[in-house]
Amino acid sequence: MPAWRPTLPQYVLAGSYSETPPNLMVEAAMSAGPVAVRRRSTAGEWVIRCAIPLTAFQKSELEALFYEDLKAGSLPLEWVHPVTRAATTFMMRTPQISAETGGASFIASLELRIQP
C-alpha cells in the first residue's frame, strides 16, 4: 500500500483542519406525520479536510504521489492522522493546489476519507 512520501510536509497547517463524521441515518418523508428516521449502517467514512504548505518540489512530489502511487486516488494511502498522529489508512481525493504570492510556494487543500 502506498505511503505518504517523507519529502512531503508531515503536519497540516494550523487552523486548516476539519472533520466530518459519517452520516449513518436515512430519512424518509411520510405523507402525514413526522419524518421517518432509521439507522443506515453501523459504520461509515469520516471525511477530513486540511491544508499543507508546499514548495515547488513538494508540489511535484504530491502530484506524483496522487497520480502515480495512488493511481489518481483509486488506491488507499497510509499516513498518520493529522490530530492523533496514529497510523491511519485514507482514501485521498484530488488535491486542490493554489499558488501563494510569488509562485514559489503553494497550498494544497486535501480531502482524506477514513473508510470503515
- Which residue ranges make up each domain of the chain? 18-114
pLDDT value at residue 9: 96
- Identity of residue 18: S
pLDDT value at residue 39: 83
- Work out the burial of residue 4: count CB atoms within 10 Å of its CB; fewer than 13 is exposed, 13-18 middle, 19 or more buried: middle
Does the predicted TM-score (pTM) go above 0.95? no
Asked if 93 contacts 111 with a C-beta cutoff of 8 angstroms, the reply is yes
Per-residue pLDDT of the chain (116 residues; tens, 9 = 90+): 999 999 999 999 999 999 999 988 888 888 888 888 888 878 889 999 999 999 999 999 999 999 999 999 999 999 999 999 999 999 999 999 988 767 789 999 999 999 88
pLDDT value at residue 40: 81
pLDDT value at residue 101: 64
pLDDT value at residue 28: 87
pLDDT value at residue 115: 86
Asked if 63 contacts 106 with a C-beta cutoff of 8 angstroms, the reply is no
